[in-house]
């Protein structure tokens, strides 16, 4: 439904990181309901290709910018989604200082923009704030088990600091800030080379390369299809009043990596064999959201089962593959 401000103006929404995997689906959904969308992205991990179908949309504007640098906008702004941050470990570890600065300075800059425009801000936080959890499943009250000096700290601690900034600005009455803790999300437009488990397995199965399992494969993950996540992000941004607490968004279905590999192989008969590699440092053993808070406050829960979402994602990867089964940039 078309969203209007109190004075009847169509809402203008800034999506930082809008040319990324999740951000581009969010831009699609906001435009589909009639909002104006300003996508700000540095393309460090995202791509203009993800938003190319939107470029000529009359309500869409694309700005190339790194959020680490302060910027201003002339037009009125109603909502800001901050999705800008490399999200896969190889990508956020490639320039860890920039990752940390994106989380802290970048989020600070967007909060300043929100304060100037009296715009609400939704921060895309992460289940990584729970680190390698000793409580299972993770509720939002669990404070986490994070290494502040390890190779993942630039992301995990950066996101924790960004949450702290959001709640400081909220308590100070400066910005209507909201925080979503996002669990593993998958779907079309994931980058073939991002090193995440679902994209890795699909790329390997399609190209006939060995399917890589890190560690024994008994570690668990939960996987949320991207359209479910986008619905949750919009629900959290729009809910009134602001819950004032972080909200987990993810799919509570829990699967071992071995189960995921079996599903991929059953779906896509492949010549690939399975190989095991050592588990990366600080890799969590179990990850599953408790989404009671999202259900209570937002009336939100995921609707797409893993088998269905995997099929949609696999179809997209198959269409994106070169005729030889390889992937550009992978």
Kindly list the catalytic residues.
155
Kindly list the distances between the CA atom of residue 182 and the CA atoms of 53, 107, 227, 325, in Å, as whole numbers in the listed order.
26, 16, 13, 31
- 272 forms part of the interface with ligand NAD (CB under 6 A): no
Inter-residue contact 184 to 176 (CB < 8 Å) = no
Q: Which is nearer to ligand NAD, 30 or 67 (CB)?
A: 67
- Count Cβ atoms below 10 Å from residue 198 Cβ, excluding itself: 23
Coil, helix or strand at residue 102: helix
Q: How far is the CB of 4 from ligand NAD (least distance, A)?
A: 27
Report if residue 114 touches ligand NAD, rule: CB under 6 A. no
Q: Is 46 helix (H, G, I), strand (E, B) or coil?
A: coil
Distance between CA atoms of residues 225 and 306, nearest Å: 8
Identify the residue among 15, 80, 182, 264 touching ligand NAD (CB under 6 A): 182
Q: How far apart are CA 125 and CA 143, in angstroms?
A: 14
Closest residue by Cα to residue 201 from 212, 191, 193: 212
| Minimum CB–partner distance for residue 199 and ligand NAD (Å) | 10
- What is the 3-state composition of the chain as percent helix, strand, coil, each rounded to the nearest 5? 40, 20, 45
CB of 131 to ligand NAD, least distance (A): 13
**289 scored as a contact of ligand NAD (CB under 6 A):** no
Does residue 184 touch ligand NAD according to CB under 6 A? yes
CB 87, min distance to ligand NAD, A: 4
Distance of CA 97 to the CA centre of its chain: 20
Cα angle, residue 158 at apex, residues 114 and 160 outer, rounded to 5°: 80
Minimum CB distance to ligand NAD smaller for 126 or for 272: 126
Number of residues that bind ligand NAD (CB under 6 A): 27
89 binds ligand NAD (CB under 6 A): no
Buried b / exposed e along 91-113 (16+ C-beta atoms within 10 A): bbbeebebbbbbbbbbbbbbbbb
CB 6 → ligand NAD: shortest distance, Å? 29
Strand pairing class (255-256; 220-221): antiparallel
| Interacting residue with ligand NAD among 14, 15, 39, 41 (CB under 6 A) | 41
Answer yes or no whether residue 251 interacts with ligand NAD by CB under 6 A.
no
How far apart CA 225 and CA 11 sit, in angstroms, is 26
Binding window for ligand NAD (CB under 6 A); candidates: 81-89, 170-178, 257-265, 280-288 = 81-89
Cβ closer to ligand NAD: 16 or 211? 16
> Quick check: 179 binds ligand NAD (CB under 6 A)?
no
Q: Does position 294 bind ligand NAD by CB under 6 A?
A: no
CB–CB of 5/12 below 8 Å? no
Among 185, 199, 204, 272, binds ligand NAD (CB under 6 A): 185
Binding of residue 17 to ligand NAD (CB under 6 A): yes
Q: What is the DSSP letter of 103?
A: I
Question: Which of the stretches 78-86, 107-115, 143-151, 312-320 binds ligand NAD when contact is defined by CB under 6 A?
Answer: 78-86
Q: Shortest Cβ distance from residue 66 to ligand NAD (Å)?
A: 4
Q: With binding defined as CB under 6 A, does residue 133 bind ligand NAD?
A: no
Footprint of ligand NAD (CB under 6 A):
17, 19-23, 41-46, 66-68, 83-87, 102, 106, 124, 126, 182, 184-185
């Amino acid at each position: 439904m078309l969203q209007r401000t109190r004075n009847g103006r169509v809402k203008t929404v800034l999506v930082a990181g809008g040319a990324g995997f999740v951000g581009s689906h969010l831009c699609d959904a906001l435009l589909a309901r009639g909002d104006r969308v300003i996508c700000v992205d540095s393309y460090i991990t995202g791509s203009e290709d993800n938003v190319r179908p939107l470029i000529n949309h009359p309500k869409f504007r694309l700005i190339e910018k790194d959020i680490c640098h302060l910027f201003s906008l002339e037009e009125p702004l109603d909502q800001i989604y901050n999705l800008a941050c490399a999200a896969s470990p190889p990508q956020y570890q490639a320039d860890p200082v920039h990752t940390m600065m994106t989380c802290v300075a970048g989020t600070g800059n967007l909060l300043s923009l929100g304060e100037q425009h009296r715009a609400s801000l939704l921060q895309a936080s992460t289940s990584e704030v729970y680190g390698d959890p000793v409580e299972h499943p993770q509720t939002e009250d669990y404070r986490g088990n994070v290494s502040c000096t390890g190779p993942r700290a630039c992301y995990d601690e950066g996101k924790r600091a960004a949450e702290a900034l959001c709640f400081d600005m909220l308590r100070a009455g400066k910005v209507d800030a909201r925080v979503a803790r996002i669990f593993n999300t998958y779907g079309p437009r994931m980058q073939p080379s991002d090193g995440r488990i679902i994209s890795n397995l699909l790329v390997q199965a399609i190209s006939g390369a060995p399917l890589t399992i890190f560690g024994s494969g008994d570690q668990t993950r939960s996987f949320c299809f991207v359209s479910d996540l986008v619905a949750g992000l919009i629900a959290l941004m729009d809910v009134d009043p602001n819950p004032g607490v972080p909200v987990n968004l993810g799919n509570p279905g829990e699967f071992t990596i071995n189960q995921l590999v079996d599903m991929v192989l059953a779906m896509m008969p492949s010549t690939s064999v399975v190989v095991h590699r050592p588990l990366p440092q600080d890799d969590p053993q179990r990850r599953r959201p408790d989404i009671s808070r999202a259900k209570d406050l937002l009336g939100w829960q995921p609707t797409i089962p893993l088998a269905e979402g995997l099929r949609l994602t696999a179809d997209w990867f198959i269409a994106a593959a070169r005729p030889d089964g390889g992937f550009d940039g992978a």
